[in-house]
Structure 1
């Protein structure tokens, strides 16, 4: 029986969207929330699938906290693109990642997963 582990972390970053044709898109910031879902197919002797602290520390290392995302990434830093980037980074260390959800606000976000 598999388990789906969930790790949530916040970071602060600014961005502006490129090639966006809606209302003018000025530079603005968010307190982004990321949720990482990792499958565990078994538990260790302590009853854990993965170490939450280890995963949280990994996220702390890779998330672009207090950065201008347009200067960090070579792509337009939409929630969709950030979710895909984060999924790929997490998958390098945790191949059993199921999906990543990136929230720009409490009500707007995007998730990325592979089928």
Structure 2
């Protein structure tokens, strides 16, 4: 059994070295679909649920929305992006250092990993960068 909850957050990023306009600093209103999979709870106040949607919301807001929303997302191993982050941090602006390039594909993998590490039985993450473009990461078989 699976359930899905949708979230949104706003972030900026850049893809240093990209051959298109995404090499420039820009932002997105991301739409995030989190799907969890588990058996149904058999007893108690939450019987018949995979997970209470309110509990799912709390975990996603804590581990994803809070750190990502209104932050400059940057690849910590990229010198140029790190310089921009340092400048923003000097102005007390929010940044989030990530271990890989901030493509939609990599962000979906990062989000999946953070939720798994938090103990959530996540089976897929779908991240919409625009209303027409998304990346999806699903649990390996």
Answer whether TM exceeds 0.5 for this pair: yes
| Pair 1:100 & 2:135 matched | no
Shift of 1:98: 1.4
Aligned residue-pair number = 112
Query: Is the helix fraction higher in 1 or 2?
Result: 2
| Superposition CA RMSD, Å | 1.5
C-alpha spacing 1:52/1:19, structure 2 compared with 1 (3 Å): same
Map residues 1-115 of structure 1 onto 2, 5 A cutoff: 3-23=1-21, 25-45=23-43, 46-63=47-64, 64-70=68-74, 71-72=95-96, 73-92=98-117, 93-94=119-120, 96-113=121-138, 114-115=140-141
Gaps of 5+ in 1: none
Is contact 2:17–2:23 with CA below 8 Å preserved after alignment?
no
Larger radius of gyration, structure 1 or 2? 2
2:71 and 2:116 map into 1 onto residues whose CA distance is 23
Gaps of 5+ in 2: 75-94
2:133 and 2:13 map into 1 onto residues whose CA distance is 15
2:21 and 2:137 map into 1 onto residues whose CA distance is 26
The 3-state SS of whatever aligns with 1:47 is coil
Structure having greater relative contact order (Cα 8 Å, sep ≥ 6): 1
2:59 and 2:35 map into 1 onto residues whose CA distance is 14
Instruction: Output the TM-score relative to the length of structure 2.
Output: 0.73
